[in-house]
Amino acid sequence: MATFRLPPFAAPDAASFGRALVQAAESTAQRNPADLYLFPGLLALGLVPQLDLADPEWSALADASLKDAYIAAGSYAARTLGAVVVPGTIYLLTPQARLQQYAAVFDRQGNLVGEQLQTHRDALVQAVSDEISPIAVDAGVKVGLLIGRDAWYPEVSRILALQGADILLAPLAPPAPYPSEEALWGLWQEVQQNQVFGVEAGLFGAMGERVYGGRAAILAPCEMTDDDAGFLPRPGYFVGTGAQVATLSVDALQKVRRDYPLLRHLNPGLYRKYLPLVYRRLP
Amino acid sequence: MNVRDLTLQFMLQMRSRPGRVARRLHRRGFRHRVRPPEVGVVRACAVQMEWRLCETAEEFADIAYDHVRAAVGAGAELVAFPEDTASLLVGIMPGIGPMLRSATVDEALRQVGEDVQVADLFRLLGRATKRIYETTFSTLARGYGVHIAAGSAVLPMPDQRVLNVGHLFTPEGRVLRQAKCHLMPLEEDWGLTAGEDLDVYDTALGKIGLPVCMDATFFETFRILRQLGAEIVVLPMADPEYPYSAWKALRGVWPRVQESQVFGVQGALVGEALGMRLTGHAGIYAPLALTERGDGRLAISERPEGEAMVVADLDVAALRRLREEQPLQLNPALYERYFPRVYSGFWRGGTH
């Protein structure tokens, strides 16, 4: 498993974006080839220089061409690397001109095997999906995609974990500053309360007027790391440039779940009684 | 009931007479009144308390009194005790002290009978411990004019279930209760039952939820409480994690406070208790944006062992502003689509 912390790619078209993905992956692959590569959120926005998200004309351009370019590049990278690839995220536009955030998963042959839209609104993304499911990749392993702020809404990770996801993938582009405390109550604690692996990729640097402060990490339940910290590549969040690599053992994860079956202590009777009512209340 | 049981119950009733506790506390007096309240701000105190066996009601009342007096002296309006506070009163059971000094509670009970569960001990002691516990904390709450979240007490219900129940005593004499809804494996082994309800109580300090310890491991608890209106969540804790692990401890109240935009006040029981070694920090937590260092901590004890007390001001008005400025963007349509199906697979004992 490899995840990246990278600045936006200055790639003017799908072909150069695809090559940039492969180049970044190969710099890692020379040392330690991975089966799955997770790239940061919004990396593909480098396809649209002079980005101005407030400009509706840009949004129209993105909707028409950006998704095609993203898919072409992702497919090319997966095929070339012979690995599963998530090439970050992109913005899409609904017919009502509202932004969505989207990511896709490509298998080793370059086939698009899963897609996911962000499910919780944020300052920019106002059109969200009410569908989410794990995506089966190699050897029956299921991954779940957490797009944008979804990593901070525990409902999403719970739904994915209870549907059988073993690995939660979060291709993020958080605005700077993005302190470690903010990251910890995102994916880190989702990993802990669901006994799954978590992989975070982070965009950093400036794009137009926006500055990103992403981090990268490969996370596991505390019980799987000697120091209890839950970070597989140590010592913690990666804030350099490049990749983090780790081997994820689903067998070892299953042992943790067997030794301490945390989800057995859920209280569905309680949730059934309250959740349908309380979610309809304004917070 | 045979003669031996009748005799035991009589002894327990004598040992738990409310007058003993009330007299003891009134004799010590309530000299420190709380400071004048500041609108929209609640001064909270979280107690880190060493477990010890109390053989008399007065001994228990003295321990509670000392903690409350210290908290009130620091200006606290809300005092939060640890989980299983009432377990100190196991010592009122005649003859149990020497047994517990040499064995775990399970081992001690096996000397009584193979089929005896820890829950049976609490069924036997429940009426007496409840009297001492409630008299102690209601007297202190009224005497000092403070709200006391008195941790929890393991108590038998009229239907014979045994629940771990959090308590909040108000200065006006209200006693508010909340059963623990997510049990530790150990508690299940002991024969306890999980609660099936969550409540938020409207008090003079704000809207308060009272889950217990393991309830904070599951986001659902805090989400329900938040949606029911909670602003302050008091979480008594007794964690049998030894040696202490700061990372594992991070899986409880701290992320729940962040997810749900509430204040968290956590008392911690520490030390050797019923064959376990308990560790943990008393702490007071807030959303990152409401803490000076941006770390979500208003106050935390220095060490996860030994006695301590931490105090911090909860700016409830600031919390309300934060919620208006950064509202949760929940997606009920998503949850309604998936939750009935995904949770049903975990009804009573499912696993990954």
Q: What is the CATH number of the domain that holds B80?
A: 3.60.110.10
Does B112 reside within a domain? yes
Using a 10 angstrom Cβ sphere, with 0-12 exposed, 13-18 middle and 19 or more buried, the burial of residue A123 is exposed
Q: Which of B110-114, B239-243, B305-309 has the lowest mean pLDDT?
A: B110-114
Mutation target among A120, A258, A271 for the B interface, most CBs of B within 10 A: A271
Rounded Cα distance between A121 and B81, Å, is 38
SS3 at position B156 = strand
**pTM surpassing 0.90?**
yes
Does B35 reside within a domain? yes
Rounded Cα distance between B180 and B211, Å, is 6
Fold of A2-278: Nitrilase/N-carbamoyl-D-aminoacid amidohydrolase (3.60.110)
Asked whether residue B349 carries a pLDDT value surpassing 50, the answer given is: no
DSSP for A88-149, please give it: -EEEEE-TTS-EEEEEEEE-TTS-EEEEEE--S--SS-----S----EE-GGG-EEEE--GG
Residues of B in contact with A272 (CB under 8 A): 340, 343
Query: What is the DSSP pairing of strand A135-136 with strand A167-172?
Result: unpaired
Rounded Cα distance between A15 and B127, Å, is 76
Does B160 reside within a domain? yes
Mutation target among B186, B220, B291 for the A interface, most CBs of A within 10 A: B220
Q: Check residue A209 and give its pLDDT.
A: 78
Residues 240-299 of chain B with CB under 8 A from chain A are: 245-248, 250-251, 254-255, 258-259, 261, 288, 294-296
Residues 39-68 of chain B with CB under 8 A from chain A are: none
**pLDDT of B291-330, one tens digit each?**
999 999 999 999 999 999 999 999 999 999 999 999 999 9
Q: Check residue A110 and give its pLDDT.
A: 97
Please name the residue of chain A whose CA is at the shortest distance from the CA of residue B244: A228
Q: How many C-beta neighbours within 10 Å does residue B63 have?
A: 18
Shortest CA distance to A121 belongs to which of A95, A149, A143?
Answer: A149
B159 confidence band (pLDDT: 50, 70, 90): very high
Q: Do A271 and B330 touch (CB under 8 A)?
A: no
Q: Check residue B273 and give its pLDDT.
A: 84
Question: Residue A276 has which token pair?
Answer: 């349908």
Question: Residue A102 has which token pair?
Answer: 């989207």
Shortest CA distance to B48 belongs to which of B243, B240, B269, B311?
Answer: B269
Q: Check residue A283 and give its pLDDT.
A: 53
Q: Are B166 and B177 in contact (CB under 8 A)?
A: yes
Give 3-state DSSP helix, strand, coil % of chain B, rounded to 5: 40, 25, 35
Rounded Cα distance between A134 and A141, Å, is 9
Domain residue ranges in chain A: 2-278
Using a 10 angstrom Cβ sphere, with 0-12 exposed, 13-18 middle and 19 or more buried, the burial of residue B102 is exposed
Which residue segment(s) compose the domain that B46 sits in? 3-344
Does B349 reside within a domain? no
Mutation target among A162, A163, A166 for the B interface, most CBs of B within 10 A: A162
Question: Residue A48 has which token pair?
Answer: 């649209």
B116 confidence band (pLDDT: 50, 70, 90): confident
Question: Residue A272 has which token pair?
Answer: 């059934």
Q: Which amino acid is at B107?
A: E
For Cα atoms B128, B132, B137, give the angle at the middle one, nearest 5 degrees. Answer: 150
Q: Do A275 and B335 touch (CB under 8 A)?
A: yes
Which of B184, B194, B331 is facing A128, going by the closest CB pair? B331
If one counts the domains in chain B, the total is 1
Shortest CA distance to A202 belongs to which of A222, A179, A225?
Answer: A179
Nearest-CA distance A115 → chain B (Å)? 16
The one-digit pLDDT tens for each residue of chain A (283 residues) are 999 999 988 787 889 999 999 999 998 766 678 999 999 999 887 676 555 656 656 665 666 678 889 999 999 999 999 999 999 999 888 888 788 999 999 999 999 999 999 999 999 899 999 999 999 998 789 999 999 999 999 999 999 999 999 999 999 999 999 999 999 999 999 999 999 999 999 999 988 778 999 999 999 999 999 999 999 998 899 999 999 999 999 999 999 999 999 999 999 999 999 998 898 865 5
The total number of residues shown for chain B amounts to 352
Nearest-CA distance A280 → chain B (Å)? 7
Please name the residue of chain B whose CA is at the shortest distance from the CA of residue A163: B342
Nearest-CA distance A220 → chain B (Å)? 12
Residues of A in contact with B335 (CB under 8 A): 155, 159, 275, 279
Residues 209-228 of chain B with CB under 8 A from chain A are: 214, 217-220, 223-224, 226-228
Q: Check residue A2 and give its pLDDT.
A: 94
Q: Do B334 and A280 touch (CB under 8 A)?
A: no
| Gap between the terminal Cα atoms of chain B | 46
Residues of B in contact with A229 (CB under 8 A): 247
Which of A181, A193, A227 is facing B218, going by the closest CB pair? A193
**pLDDT of B37-48, one tens digit each?**
677 899 999 999
Residues of A in contact with B333 (CB under 8 A): 130
Q: Do A131 and B337 touch (CB under 8 A)?
A: yes
Rounded Cα distance between A282 and B195, Å, is 26
Which of A152, A159, A192 is facing B342, going by the closest CB pair? A159
Residues of A in contact with B334 (CB under 8 A): 119, 129-132, 155-156, 159
Q: Which of A27-36, B159-168, B295-304, B331-340 has the lowest mean pLDDT?
A: A27-36
Q: Do A263 and B346 touch (CB under 8 A)?
A: yes
> In whole numbers, what is the pLDDT of chain B averaged over residues?
92
Q: Check residue B347 and give its pLDDT.
A: 47
Phi-psi category of A161—alpha, beta or left, where left has phi over 0 and alpha has psi -120 to 50?
alpha
Q: Check residue B348 and give its pLDDT.
A: 45
For residues B189-204, one letter each, b for 16 or more C-beta atoms within 10 angstroms of the residue's C-beta and e for the rest, the string is: ebbbbbbeebbbbebe
Please name the residue of chain B whose CA is at the shortest distance from the CA of residue A162: B342
